[in-house]
Amino acid sequence: MKTGHWTNEEITYLQDNYVKYGSVKVAKFLNRNKRAVGCMATYLGLRRGWGNSRYRKYSVNINIFKEWTKKSAYLVGLILTDGNVTERELSIVSKDIELLEKAREAMSSEHPISPVTNQDMFRLRIGNKSMIADLKVIGITERKSKTVTLPKVPDNLFFDFLRGYLDGDGMLIHKPNKALVLKLSTGSPYILDDISKTITRLLEIDYHRPKTQTQKRRETFSTWYELTYCGLSASKICVAMYEHSDNLFLSRKYEAFTNYVNRPKNFGLRNNGNATKYHQASVG
């Protein structure tokens, strides 16, 4: 009976047949121990289901985080803000079901989106140890909210990452006769400073220092950090984020930017004309 390293051919056979035939038949064909087959199936995120359809599994692109792409960069930004990683599971929680649907599509996932009990929120949960391991290599770990730093995102994909971060824990605000405001928030004192320095380096925008915010809740104070850009700076960042976004964004935040770009001209905003010139026809 075989032991040790699994070949690519064995893994492919397992992925193609485990859900249909189960560990006993697959183990017999591969000449491996039943328990070893079950452990490898769990590692690959293969699931056997119940009900009228005897077997069930949720497919997902388990290689999505093995290399940096536009999709994986966006998802990393989203997971850093709205996601949670454990030893066995990745979950993303949001009040915007559209955001979870787009994240699920980006990962080629069939996993269900479920309402969170007693909250006006929805959750996407994916159990796959291979994906979890890849996220840990990137720097996303358990209990990350207070210590997370900026991952080593390639420069050409940084604004895809930033768009995911914005959709998870940021705001785009445009009110009539007001400048566009972009805000990013976090519980970590480290990541926003790195983001600000990267934006300065890539777009030649003046460095913005993150500010500490505190608020009393019941008997304790909560502390978080905010990075804010306004007007021309916010517009330049938005163009970089949305210019080649392939529709991978939260619509309501993108609309705040397009409403700003298409606002009535010459109503007195400083740099009104300059802000508009950075908008490209290819945005979106």
| pLDDT, tens digit, 9 for 90 and up, residues 151-180 | 999 999 999 999 999 999 999 998 887 889
Range of weakest confidence among 3-17, 48-62, 110-124: 48-62
Q: Shortest CA distance to 198 belongs to which of 172, 226, 227?
A: 227
Instruction: Give me the pLDDT at residue 53, please.
Output: 37
Give the integer Cα–Cα distance in Å for 248 and 83: 17
Instruction: Give me the pLDDT at residue 217, please.
Output: 57
Give the integer Cα–Cα distance in Å for 91 and 150: 20
pLDDT band at 47 (very low <50, low <70, confident <90, very high): low
Q: Is the pLDDT of residue 269 over 60?
A: no
Q: Are 256 and 220 in contact (CB under 8 A)?
A: no
Question: How many alpha carbons lie under 13 Å from residue 274 in its C-beta half-sphere?
Answer: 10
Q: Is the pLDDT of residue 141 over 70?
A: yes
pLDDT band at 143 (very low <50, low <70, confident <90, very high): low
Instruction: Give me the pLDDT at residue 52, please.
Output: 34
Q: Are 171 and 188 in contact (CB under 8 A)?
A: no
Q: Is the pLDDT of residue 189 over 90?
A: no
CA dihedral over 117, 119, 120, 121, signed as positive or negative: negative
Q: What is the mean pLDDT of the chain?
A: 84
Q: How many CB atoms lie within 10 A of CB 50?
A: 8
Q: Shortest CA distance to 230 belongs to which of 281, 174, 268, 284?
A: 174
Percent of the chain topping pLDDT 90: 48
Instruction: Give me the pLDDT at residue 39, please.
Output: 85
pLDDT digits (tens, 9 = 90+) for 212-233: 887 755 556 678 889 999 999 9
- What is the CATH class of 70-277? alpha beta
Predicted structure pTM score = 0.74
Q: Are 151 and 194 in contact (CB under 8 A)?
A: no
